Structure formats: structure tokens, C-alpha cells
Amino acid sequence: MLQKTKPQLPFVQLMFATLTLMGIAVPLLAQTTGQTSQPENVQVITSEHETKVIASKTLLQVIQDGGPMMFLIGICSVVLLVFVFERSVSLRKGRIIPRPFVKRFMQQLREGELDADTAMELCQKNRSPVAEVFAAAIQKWNRPSVEIEQAIIDSGERVTNNLRKYLRLINGVATVTPLLGLLGTVLGMIHAFDAIGSVDQSIRPETVIATGISQALLTTAAGLSVAIPALITYLFFVGRVDQLVVEIDSFGQQIISIIASDAWRPSKDGESGSRNQTKKSKRSAA
């Protein structure tokens, strides 16, 4: 059963401290420089009524400016895309619960057109997850309902684990990428503050400080840009798996009411099926 985890307090404190340092760095940068210069990758467009500043960085330049954490976040984004596509194909409802097979199989069972061998052969030919659960129930044909239900539960757990494959990896990407972005933020702030006292007179300190702050902001934004879609897709796939498992369990309960030896079946004289079965067993014993 999935459980929600509360955010840890040290992580929140570290995030607050980082934002505080960034708030201190910006006024310090203004006091150090006294004036601002126009970077090479910024275009200023002036008109009669307004002035627009447009950044002209390419995607590759943004990744390079973000530092080494940007490459790790990029790898996580590629992994996320691959496994989201794989789960989107694997968790199609027509693949997990093929409607034509289930409808025909259940109808033939109700009408008594299938025996245990024929039903097992149909399940083995289909090879879908719902057919795997049906096959586990058919193996307990004409057994008590408790045994058939336990067989369905055991097979359902194996099917559920298979359906939830790679979902932990998607959840891991949603958890790790914000931490990578936070690490890049911390490294960028360390670089910015170290630059205040380590640069010589030939290098303007505001340039080094601005580079560190830019790296900090880029990695944080990149980490959140990957983590938010990863978390959304993880919750979506978990909900789909739960819905499929509930539907498979519903079909399993219907099979129990058909093939169990002690299942209740209406008869012409109004007696239950289990009582009729008891009377038949007594006559055969006599």
C-alpha cells in the first residue's frame, strides 16, 4: 500500500538558507559593482514607449552555464522519457484486460460450454495478465471457494508487481532531480561567494558572482522542470494500475461463483446450489 511521505525538516531548512543567501548576494553584487554592464548574450531593444531586454542564449549554452549538475538532470530527463513511453504502451487497457477474450470466456463459463482443460488452454493461448489470473483460478476447478480465492490473490499479486514495474524508477527521478537542482544551487552560491575575495583586479568580481548565481538558478529550475512531470506521471500510472487490479479482481470473483464446488447456484426447487451439491454427494456415496 502506497504511503505518503512528509517532507524532511533539514531539507526545508537548507532550501530556506539557500534562498536567504541568494537574497543577500544580490544587494552585495549591487554594492560591489556600483554599475552594471551589458552581457554579450543579452539584446536590448528600445522603442518610443518601452525597452525590452531579450536573452539570446541557446539551449546548449544554458546547459553549459548550469554546470555539471545540468548534465545529470539531463540524463534523468532522458530516463524519464524512455520509461514513461514504455509504461504508456505496457499499461494499455486493451493489453491488460482484452475485452473480446474476457467477454467470450465469461459467457462460455456461465453457459457451461467450457471444462477445466479447455478453459486452461484458452488462458494459455491469450497470455494477458487477466488470463494469467483466470488460469490460476481454473487450476482449482471444482474446489472450495476459499482455495480458488487464495489462488486468485497469489496470482494477482504477481500480476500487480509486474504492472508496477519501473514505477519506482519514475518516482526516484521525481525525488532525485530536485535534490540535484538544490546541489547545483549550493555549488553555484559557494562559487559566487568565493569569487568575492579570490578574484584579482584584472577580473571584475561582479561577472564571477553573476555566473555563480546564474548557475544556482538554472539548476534549480531544471530540477523542478523534470521532477514535476515525473511526479504527475507517477501518480497517473499508479492510479491506472489500481484501477486495472480492481477490475481483474472483479472478474476473479465472478469466476469463483461459477466454478467453486460450494458456490451458491439457484435451482428450480428453490434450494441453494451448495445444498444440492451435498445431496448429490450423499446419493453417490450411498
Residue 61 is assigned to a structural domain of this protein:
no
Residue 39 is assigned to a structural domain of this protein:
no
Query: Per residue of the chain (286 residues), what is the pLDDT tens digit?
Result: 344 434 343 444 444 444 444 444 444 434 433 333 344 454 444 445 554 444 555 556 656 666 678 889 989 999 999 999 999 999 998 999 999 999 999 999 988 888 889 999 999 999 899 999 999 999 999 899 899 999 999 999 999 999 998 999 999 999 999 999 989 888 878 877 776 666 666 666 666 677 667 777 888 888 999 999 999 999 999 999 999 999 999 999 999 988 888 767 665 454 444 444 443 343 333 3
Distance CA 114, CA 112 (A): 6
Give residue 214's pLDDT.
Answer: 72
Residue 154 is assigned to a structural domain of this protein:
yes
Kindly report the length of the chain: 286
Residue 208 is assigned to a structural domain of this protein:
yes
pTM here?
0.70
Report CA torsion sign: 76, 79, 81, 87: negative
Residue 187 is assigned to a structural domain of this protein:
yes
What domain range is 163 assigned to? Answer: 75-279
Give residue 80's pLDDT.
Answer: 94
Residue 55 is assigned to a structural domain of this protein:
no
Residue 3 is assigned to a structural domain of this protein:
no
Residue 115 is assigned to a structural domain of this protein:
yes
The total of structural domains in the chain comes to: 1
